[in-house]
Amino acid sequence: MKAALDTLRAVIAAPVLNLVAVVGLLLLVASFCDVQHDHALGFTLRNAGPEPWRASVGLLLVGVSLLLSRTPRSERVDRKVDLVSGMQLVFGRLEVRIKVGRIEDLAGVTSATAVVLPANTSFLDSCIEDPRSAFGAFVQEHYAQKVQALRAAIQHGLPPLPDGDNSPKNWPPGTTVLLPPPFDAPIRLLVTGATIAAPGSPIRAEPSTVSECVRQILEATCDKKISHLRMPVIGAGHGGLDLLDAALFIVIALRHYERRFHHVRLVEVLVREQDAPRLREAYRLRYLMRLQETAT
Statement: residue 260 has pLDDT above 60: yes
Residue 193's identity, in one-letter code, is G
Residues 125 and 241 reside in one and the same domain: yes
The stretches of 158-206 forming alpha helices (DSSP H) are none
pLDDT band at 29 (very low <50, low <70, confident <90, very high): low
Residues 189 and 62 reside in one and the same domain: no
Statement: residue 74 has pLDDT above 50: no
The pLDDT mean for the chain works out to: 79
CA 186 from chain centre, in angstroms, equals 27
Query: Rounded mean pLDDT of 57-84?
Result: 59
- Give the model confidence (pLDDT) of 170-184 as tens digits: 899 999 999 999 998
Helix 207-221 / helix 243-257 crossing angle, nearest 10 deg: 40
Q: Which of 18-27, 52-61, 247-256 has the highest mean pLDDT?
A: 247-256
Statement: residue 64 has pLDDT above 70: no
Nearby residues of 213 by Cβ (< 8 Å), 6 or more positions away: 118, 173, 174, 176, 192, 193, 194, 234, 253
The Cα–Cα gap between 214 and 210 comes to 6
Look at 185 and 55; give whichever has higher pLDDT. 185
pLDDT band at 239 (very low <50, low <70, confident <90, very high): confident
Residues 142 and 226 reside in one and the same domain: yes
Residues 19 and 115 reside in one and the same domain: no
Nearby residues of 14 by Cβ (< 8 Å), 6 or more positions away: none
Residues 12 and 115 reside in one and the same domain: no
Distances (CA, A) of 295 to 67, 259, 288: 22, 16, 11
Residues 177 and 201 reside in one and the same domain: yes
Using a pLDDT cut of 70, give the percent of the chain over it: 65
The Cα–Cα gap between 25 and 278 comes to 42
Split into its structural domains, the chain has a count of 2
- Give the model confidence (pLDDT) of 120-178 as tens digits: 998 876 778 888 889 999 999 999 899 999 999 999 999 988 765 555 688 999 999 99
Query: Rounded mean pLDDT of 227-251?
Result: 93
Say which range, 57-66, 77-86, 133-142, 192-201, has the weakest mean pLDDT: 57-66
Domain, as residue range, for 290: 87-160+168-295
Q: What is the torsional sign of CA 182, 183, 188, 192?
A: negative
Residues 66 and 102 reside in one and the same domain: no
Say which range, 32-41, 109-118, 245-254, has the weakest mean pLDDT: 32-41
Q: What is the CATH number of the domain that holds 217?
A: 3.40.220.10
CA 205 from chain centre, in angstroms, equals 19
Residues 131 and 53 reside in one and the same domain: no
